[in-house]
Amino acid sequence: MTAQNKPIFTIVIDVYFKLHLFKLSIESIQKQTYKNLEIIVVNNGADQEITNYINLLSKKDSRIKILHYQKNLYDEDNPALAWEIMLNEALFNLSTGEYFFYQSYDDKLAEDYIERMVNLFLENEQCITAAGRSISMDILGRPNKSELNEIESVSRNIYMDGSEFILGLLSKHDEAFSSPGGATLFSYRRKDLIDYGGYDRCTDASHLYGIIPFGITGYDREAIQFWRRHDYQLNKEWTKRGYTSARETFDMLENSQIKERWDKFFPEQTNFVMESIRESQYLTSANWFAVNLCRFNLRGSLFTIWELGFRPRFWALLPNQIWKNKKWVLLTIAYFMEPLISKLIIFLENNLSFPKERIPGIRKLNDLYKNFDSNFLEKHKDP
């Protein structure tokens, strides 16, 4: 197949701030070994410096189209609405590719990522979704070496029936999908994405349970997407605020076509799927309520309650989640009490007339604070 005959692959990337990270991300797209790309850059109300930069990019690279918004679409009270608007306008009004993929402004792709995705689609005409591995990297772009080396830990076939894949995830017996990012990691056959209705405010769950199960899904463990850990990750802000997308999830279950699709193709599995999605959301909400409570973030915990309303299953799961996250109580207390306890340790060390090791707990306290610094909680951020 000549380059001219290869299908167009559409990538959408949005930008609002952090130009230095966006530059790295867009460069990783432009340098793909697969050249027949359509790159849609969404200017989500960015400042003039970023606007000038992406305008210059589009003049230099004919593959780039720009979707401009004068005002940032992000709404703190409706966080996922911006993606619904941006991605649907890009999908329905601008894109022409046979395949469609969204990338965040702070992520990067290995140079052969798109080529590997296209090969998955072309080698199996029943394949409607495809994904690679997602590896974390730090703010400087250094990949997590242990994740890179865990290539054998994900036991997944190159092609799987999408329903089998999702049912395995829901039953918690299948470790096939261990990467973060959910359904946003997947590339989609554009026609199927359009037929489904595109994007909504519950994109991850909506696509995971509404598109992927109804066709073959491909996987290439050599295709690497790098996602960046840093202080400005939106999911961190959502967690602090207590936003867990509960409203979107329950609205999706009540109003979307997901139940109808499962009833049509896999009726014997419909109730299991619906209840599993609800249970997963309850666990997520209970977990982050507990984390925020243990961090003394009362506002975040109260927001989660407001988001859920009164749902008995959430309250039933909550005690176990609080106990599970009890370390946050100790870490938070340790963080705020560090100046006082450090002085106490110094006083005891200077004034005891017998070995301090004989005082219960003093050695542990000393070890805890010996190398204490302001990043203590950040080093213990994963609940």
Q: How far is CA 20 from CA 65, 232, 321, in A?
A: 20, 13, 38
Partners of 38 in the β-ladder: 10
The predicted pLDDT at position 309 comes to 80
- What are the structural domain ranges in the chain? 3-232, 235-325, 328-379
* Residue 302 or residue 239, greater confidence: 302
The pLDDT of 275-294, averaged and rounded, is: 89
For strand 37-44 and strand 64-69, is the pairing parallel, antiparallel, or unpaired? parallel
Per-residue pLDDT tens digits for 232-272: 777 777 778 888 888 889 988 887 789 999 999 999 999 99
Distance CA 163, CA 210 (A): 10
With a pLDDT cut of 90, the percent of the chain lying above it is: 49
Lowest-confidence pick of 155-159, 182-186, 296-300:
182-186
Report the C-alpha dihedral over residues 211, 215, 216, 221, rounded to 10 degrees: 0
Fold of 3-232: Spore Coat Polysaccharide Biosynthesis Protein SpsA; Chain A (3.90.550)
Taking the whole predicted model, whether its pTM rises above 0.75 is answered as yes
Find out whether 10 and 118 touch, Cβ atoms under 8 Å: no
Tell me the pLDDT of the chain averaged across its residues.
84
pLDDT tens for 22-62 read 999 999 999 999 999 999 999 999 999 999 999 999 999 99
pLDDT band at 110 (very low <50, low <70, confident <90, very high): very high
| Predicted local confidence at residue 157, as pLDDT | 87
What's the pLDDT score for residue 179? Answer: 45
E strand intervals along 81-126: 99-103, 108-109
Q: For 139-144, what is the mean pLDDT?
A: 87
Strands (E), 104-214: 108-109, 127-137, 159-161, 187-189
The SS3 of residue 103 is: strand
Window from 84-98, 277-291, 338-352, 368-382 with minimum mean pLDDT: 368-382
